[in-house]
A = this chain, B = another copy of it.
Amino acid sequence: MNKETDFSEWYNEITEKAMLTDKRYQVKGTNVWLPYGWKISLNIDRIIRDEMGNNNHDEVCFPTLIPETDFNKERDHIKGFTEEVYWVTKAGGNDLDVNLLLRPTSETAMYPMFSLWIRSHADLPLRIFQIVNTFRYETKQTRAFIRVREMHFFEAHTCHATYEEAEEQIKTDLDIMNKIARKLCIPYIVCIRPDWDKFPGAKYTLGIDTFMGGKTLQIASIHQYGDNFSKPYNIMFEDLDGKQKHVSQTTYGMSERLVGAIVGIHGDAKGLVLPPSIAPIQVIIVPIYTKENRIRVETECNELLAIIKNDGIRADIDKRDIRPGNKFYYWEEKGVPIRIEVGEREVSSHAYIIKKRTGGSADVGMKTASSIIKKVLDDISDTLFENAKKTMDNIIIEIDKRDAIKDTEGIVKVPWCGSESCAHELENIPAFKIHGIPYVEETIDSKNRKCVVCNKQFKNHLVMARTF
């Protein structure tokens, strides 16, 4: 398996070999989370929960089933999802009076409740999130963690007194995104999606994309709904001036695609490379013993394990009766950040060599093991992020000739006049997708830039790339 020459095959193979998922489940596009993969996912959930808690969001859990009648209240929204919805039409032996759908996302489940919860300005802002599974009947080819029909999903929903306060929330969401992505060592770009590609029902959508295997992968999105949902769902509050007003709403979503991104961005020919923040095992200790010194070596391993676990490091000893070389191979494939071999020399010296999954090593003694290991884990995290960031920065290229786009690898930034017709022209380039305009356009010389389609005055860059 070669990541560079056949990313797709490499990705599919590694997700199975590292025992993250089993794709042989009997319903197409829904996979079994195996223990190792699920631990990674729970660790990501923990990071998300911590960040959302720090930012005044309460966690809730809404039902999976949504009545067709509530779903139908927001026309644009239902139009966007109608081809992707699973329908429950029977229960027991009976046809249901009102069909129920499995949530593809929870606006239409939550907002009828919001209209009961919110009465006055004192109830605002309302900030909640949930981590649940959602269901979309994907018609495109499915792929583990990236395009699945049952998806592990995070969704935050907020309500505000004014559109401006909702705008502030979106800035906070981008800060949260920044912190979470840094912990997962994932670089990304933020684009304002084109109007014709925004989330159904949104005023505008921010798409957050990373890059791997020659394509972008959307890993998060943030939406400004304004009053697009609060009007049909009647979510109103009495303001300080005594008037009834509709709330302004935002949402922020992420999913198990974060697992896919971690696999795809950091992995290599040997297997996974896991960011320390979410590695189920951060340090694997491998005993190297002969018949004679087995007990001494295992005692040393146990002592070291007890010390570093006590200091909050996730660690284990591989005591299996297989050859050390096989253990090295096994834990490299699983992406464990640090390996420590303990043999006769280590028993004598109580000193060890830390081998980093990202290359290189460091020396530690037993007494200072925890503090140095923590520092090395931070170093590994920095290395992973910086390498990924550098790679991503390098493949973002400005292209000012329309014909050159189709042959470009990476993410292209195309000078554009701002007209929808020119954008639609660019959409005809095979495999390339318009991601929108940069959320923050860097300071550039706009005078000398012309639209690559009509040659009129530059207004924005359009970001384009092949995408998953």
Contacts and interface: CB of A to CB of B under 8 A. Distances in A.
Given A26-B112, A60-B34, A60-B38, A91 B100 contact: no
Interface string A35-76: 100110110000000000000001111111111011000000
A32 B59 contact: no
Interface string A74-94: 000000001111111111110
Which has the most chain B C-beta neighbours within 10 Å: A91, A102, A152? A91
A89 B30 CA distance: 17
Contact of A92 (B26, B58, B137): B137
A24 interface: yes
Contacts of A87: 88-91
B137 A65 contact: no
A362 interface: no
A214 to B, nearest CB: 30
Interface in A415-464: none
Contacts of A152: 61
Contacts of A22: 113, 116
Contacts of A27: 63, 65-67, 100
A25 interface: yes
A31 interface: yes
**Copies of this subunit:** 2
A289 interface: no
A316 to B, nearest CB: 12
A61 to B, nearest CB: 4
Contact of A59 (B35, B65, B83, B112): B35
Contact of A30 (B25, B65, B102): B65
Contact of A60 (B30, B33, B61, B66): B33
**Chain A interface, DSSP helix/strand/loop, else mixed:** mixed
Interface in A94-123: 100, 102, 109, 112-113, 116
A39 B61 CA distance: 10
Contacts of A12: none
Contacts of A33: 60-62
Contacts of A353: none
Contacts of A38: 59-61
A176 interface: no
A446 B33 CA distance: 52
Interface in A112-165: 112-113, 116, 128, 133, 135, 137, 139, 150, 152
A405 to B, nearest CB: 33
Which has the most chain B C-beta neighbours within 10 Å: A92, A93, A139? A92
B35 A58 contact: yes
A64 B133 contact: yes
B88 A92 contact: no
B116 A24 contact: yes
A278 B62 CA distance: 21
A167 to B, nearest CB: 25
A63 B113 contact: no
A18 to B, nearest CB: 15
B92 A84 contact: yes
Given A60-B33, A60-B38, A26 B137 contact: no
Given A24-B113, A65-B27, A65-B150, A88 B102 contact: yes
A121 B388 CA distance: 43
14 contacts: A25-B109, A25-B113, A27-B65, A30-B65, A32-B61, A35-B58, A35-B60, A41-B61, A64-B102, A64-B133, A64-B150, A65-B135, A88-B102, A92-B137
5 closest pairs, A vs B, by CB? Answer: A35-B58, A30-B63, A33-B61, A91-B137, A87-B90
Given A31-B63, A35-B58, 13 more contacts: A22-B116, A24-B113, A27-B65, A27-B66, A32-B62, A32-B63, A32-B113, A34-B60, A64-B64, A83-B93, A86-B100, A88-B89, A89-B90
